[in-house]
Structure 1
Amino acid sequence: MKYCFGVDIGGTTVKIGLFTTEGELLEKWEIKTRTENHGEAILPDVAESLQNKMQEKNIRKSEVDGIGIGIPAPVMEDGVVQKTANLGWGYKEVTREMKELTGLPVAAGNDANMAALGEMWLGAGKGQKNMIMVTLGTGVGGGIIVNGKPLAGSHGAGGEIGHFCVNEEETETCGCGNTGCLEQYASATGISRLARRRLERDDSPSPLRGSEISAKAVFDALKEGDAVAKEIVEEFGSYLGHALAAIAVITDPSVIVIGGGVSKAGEILLEYVEKYFHEKAFFANQDTRFVLAQLGNDAGICGAAKLIL
């Protein structure tokens, strides 16, 4: 039997999966991400964990096709990272260092692209070759798959959907330094922001008043039939749906997968996004399907494993 490893490096933990090359996840585990001293221990820690697992399972190097790694930063095609926000790394030659540490083939990519690749391989996009994945969490992440391969671009920043400009009038700044980014309206924090703005506009009664405003609270109120929550979700849906229609005209996906914490709202979220997508979509993109992500936190390790294969 042949094996490969998928590694998903996060700011708090590193998730690792041992796979067969056929796509069966045999085992998954986590180790702590040690970000101190510019994250110098991260790759050696991963290498040690992989070698321990190979010893435990009696797997020889010749039986391992390689290691795929997902990183929360733009990653160049040669596996070089210029800078990461939360790992402490500056310039780092990830694939070269990991190859030297393990003696195995290595491939690296952006974590959101890896999640998209994972959903295409083993999740909601299974059997598809052209796909957009949007992850709605604290921010808005994205991965674009074209002809079965993640779109990385020349700076490793392909598929950064969260920083698509959707509002020219916005004056507040996004975390990236620009204004009017999709992330300011479609992330969990963005939805809370839309809710606060709506509640300040007038004093319409709503269960959202006087409680902590979160994306979950907004969708829970919507499910209870709250009119104010419906207005907020309509606004969220229009920003995200229109942005995806604009992206679809360039990448022509057969399916759009929506994941991340906000997607736990379920099918009701898709209704609002699809409605506005169809309002603006080019005629050739009108039959694009919308589905909820299926792999959850395993998407990153699955995609990283697929990358090396």
Structure 2
Amino acid sequence: MMKKYAFGVDIGGTTCKIGFFDTNGTLLDKWEIKTNTENNGESILSDVAKAVDNKLAQEAISKDDVQGIGIGVPGPVDSQGVVHRCVNLGWGVVNVAEELGNLTGLKIKVGNDANVAALGEMWQGGAKGSKDVIMVTLGTGVGGGIIVDGKVVAGFNGAGGEIGHITVNNDEIEACNCGQYGCLEQYTSATGIVRLAKRKLAKSTEETSIREIPNLTAKDVFDAAKAGDAIAIGLVDEVCEILGSTLSNIACVVNPEIIVIGGGVSKAGDILLDNIKKHFVETSFMACRETKFALAGLGNDAGMYGCVEMLLD
């Protein structure tokens, strides 16, 4: 008999998003708990286990009816469910599958957060119906997930799909968080867009509405561009050119059917998507020019969905 329920847990640097699903992929309930990063995040997994146990008690559901827990973490994960360093959680080498399995007595599958978000979008979101997908998440950083024939390309030690760290500028003098210079993340993440804007404002004296905004955000830049501000339009074009041409390079390797753009920056909508697509087409290999583009459909829930897809697969 098929087990009827599953949990999808997306662990972030500040909160853990927990989804309670049936095995048809319907989200029955979702909630968040705080990610406790104290003492190198040693209580994170026991906090998750408690949350799962509480939910099952509340719903009066036996563990025999639970398929397991799929869990997404912000770092590389190997095929055994071992995480090799999650900077944002304070983790070094943690055997997530074994530890959480011991705490809950349930089957555990572990994946990288961006990879599970890509699986979620393929299963129930913007890429539903496709098996060859590139997912890009534009948030504080730039995450990526690459799916070929329905399977995540995780790579030898789990670092596959880390497209935020493709070098796009050999002349960069400020270091990325990863220690390298000129990474995609430094230009097309929410923080990267603000960095570019500040550089541009420092170099020019042109009239622009964004100059007056305290605590400038990426959203402010896109809003100004939508309102016709020339400097903002130029910035958006620059960001989309960098991202579009980088995606066209990746498309030469994996030839996706669809590219899904998610993360907080994707809320800018069509101005972002149309611009990325324009630059992608300009620089892409002819056989890849028909690649479809879509905005992510599951928002912040993509990771939870993908965790369950990974578990059920």
Q: Same fold (TM over 0.5)?
A: yes
**1-structure distance, mates of 2:89, 2:133:** 28
Match of 1:267 among 253, 266, 270: 270
Instruction: Read off the aligned partner of 2:34 and give its amino acid letter.
Output: K
**2-structure distance, mates of 1:45, 1:60:** 20
Q: After the TM superposition, which residues 57-68 of structure 1 pair with which residues of structure 2 at under 5 Å, given as runs?
A: 57-68=59-70
Instruction: Read off the aligned partner of 2:169 and give its amino acid letter.
Output: N
Of the structure 1 ranges 48-57 and 133-142, higher mean CA displacement relative to structure 2 is found in 48-57
Answering whether residue 131 of structure 2 is matched by residue 129 of structure 1, we say: yes
Instruction: Read off the aligned partner of 2:290 and give its amino acid letter.
Output: D
Answering whether residue 232 of structure 2 is matched by residue 247 of structure 1, we say: no
**Which residue of structure 1 lines up, in the alignment, with residue 146 of structure 2?**
144
Instruction: Read off the aligned partner of 1:46 and give its amino acid letter.
Output: V
Give the gaps of 5 or more residues in structure 2: none
**2-structure distance, mates of 1:32, 1:216:** 26
Q: CA deviation at 1:13?
A: 1.4
1:84-124: per-residue Cα shift (whole Å, max 9, x none)?
11212111110011111111111001011111111111110
1:30-65: per-residue Cα shift (whole Å, max 9, x none)?
112122122221111111211121122122222111
Q: CA deviation at 1:206?
A: 1.0
Q: CA deviation at 1:204?
A: 1.5
Matched position secondary structure for 1:86: helix
Instruction: Read off the aligned partner of 2:227 and give its amino acid letter.
Output: E
Answering whether residue 80 of structure 2 is matched by residue 78 of structure 1, we say: yes
1:277-305: per-residue Cα shift (whole Å, max 9, x none)?
00111111111111111111111111111
Q: After the TM superposition, which residues 115-264 of structure 1 pair with which residues of structure 2 at under 5 Å, given as runs?
A: 115-212=117-214, 213-264=216-267
Ranges of 4+ aligned residues in structure 1 off by more than 6 Å: none
Instruction: Read off the aligned partner of 2:309 and give its amino acid letter.
Output: K
Instruction: Read off the aligned partner of 2:153 and give its amino acid letter.
Output: L
**2-structure distance, mates of 1:295, 1:56:** 26
Matched position secondary structure for 1:170: coil
1:157-185: per-residue Cα shift (whole Å, max 9, x none)?
11111101111121221111111100111
Matched position secondary structure for 1:263: helix
Instruction: Read off the aligned partner of 2:52 and give its amino acid letter.
Output: L
Matched position secondary structure for 2:92: coil
Instruction: Read off the aligned partner of 1:87 and give its amino acid letter.
Output: L
Percent of matched pairs sharing the same residue: 58
**Which residue of structure 2 lines up, in the alignment, with residue 27 of structure 1?**
29
Q: After the TM superposition, which residues 276-287 of structure 1 pair with which residues of structure 2 at under 5 Å, given as runs?
A: 276-287=279-290
**2-structure distance, mates of 1:120, 1:7:** 18
Q: Matched residue pairs, number?
A: 309
Match of 2:301 among 298, 301, 307: 298
Answering whether residue 67 of structure 2 is matched by residue 103 of structure 1, we say: no
Give the gaps of 5 or more residues in structure 1: none
RMSD of the TM alignment (CA)?
1.1
